[in-house]
Amino acid sequence: MLVLVAPGQGAQTPGFLTPWLDLPGAAERVAAWSKAIDLDLAYFGTKADADEIRDTAVAQPLLVAAGLLSAAALGDAVPGGIAPGAVAGHSVGEITAAAFAGVLSEADALSFVRKRGQGMAEAAAATPTGMSAVLGGDQDVVVAHLEKLGLTPANINGAGQIVAAGTLEQLAALEADKPEGSMKVVALKVAGAFHTHHMAPAVAKLEEAAQALTTADPTVAYISNKDGQAVSTGAEVVARLVGQVANPVRWDLCMETFAGRGVTGIIELCPGGTLTGLAKRALKGVPSVALKTPDDLEKAAALVAELSV
């Protein structure tokens, strides 16, 4: 079974969209999306620096646009198109996955993620907060240590990685007092304590935005990062997209579900690398391809062909 996954915030790097805009029709699609959501995606994906694309209101729509663009390019590269056995997204990547699964149109996905990014940016501005990855250590020990410091284990990613979220003072305390058995603490390129109670103000904004969405049931198994379970209705997918901004991401449970369903290959949409990296450690032996540039499309298409035999 092939699984298609979409990365979350922090995966973006300056200029990462540049080579994708050279594909036929890509620049025109991005220009239309930019106009629709009043955000110059081409500029932010090609010319903006790291600080500009760290802005939550920018990063989130940019990541979803890149995911949709690369998914379309992959479909064009595979004879007959791509039909994965399951899709999933990490954090904001869930919106990309929802669009691919047919739950949301591309237009609705981009409109919704624009409001999500703005709402979460406003919530983050209320208190200086951030996120740091804790690498290594026993999961129970790490979680208990974070809670002792007042931090939230906002992303339990599996493969020995847990992301802590909280105030900058709490994160500084974590840097000075690492959990027993952990190797290091790495600050992430995000501008807030996402998937924690700090994001509660954004939930109300998204509940309102969700009322304007037209939804359909998933056409492919949609694995939710709330609990790693498959969600069968479009209404439930959207309800989870709304609530998930203030709740932890359980990517470890998503990977357990992939394994339980017999995953035989993983393709990570642009800007790929983070989720395939986790999979290589947690799902050993499962081949994967990260779409970083269009040059990776050939490898991804070959993997699809191999799994179809």
Pull the structure tokens for residue 169: 């003072």
Beta bridge partners of 132: 164, 187
Whether residue 195 lies in the annotated active site:
yes
Per the CB < 8 A criterion, the answer to whether 181 and 138 are in contact is: yes
Order of all β-strands in the sheet with 129-135: 152-158, 161-167, 129-135, 184-187
Whether residue 182 lies in the annotated active site:
no
Pull the structure tokens for residue 203: 């939930």
Catalytic site residue from 195, 198, 224, 288: 195
Catalytic site residue from 34, 91, 132, 224: 91
The beta-carbon contacts of 228-237 under 8 Å, at least 24 apart in sequence, are 228/252, 228/253, 228/254, 228/255, 228/256, 228/257, 229/253, 229/257, 230/86, 230/257, 234/103, 234/104, 237/98, 237/101, 237/103
Q: For residues 172 and 68, what is the distance between their CA atoms, to the nearest angstrom?
A: 36
Residues recognised as catalytic: 91, 195
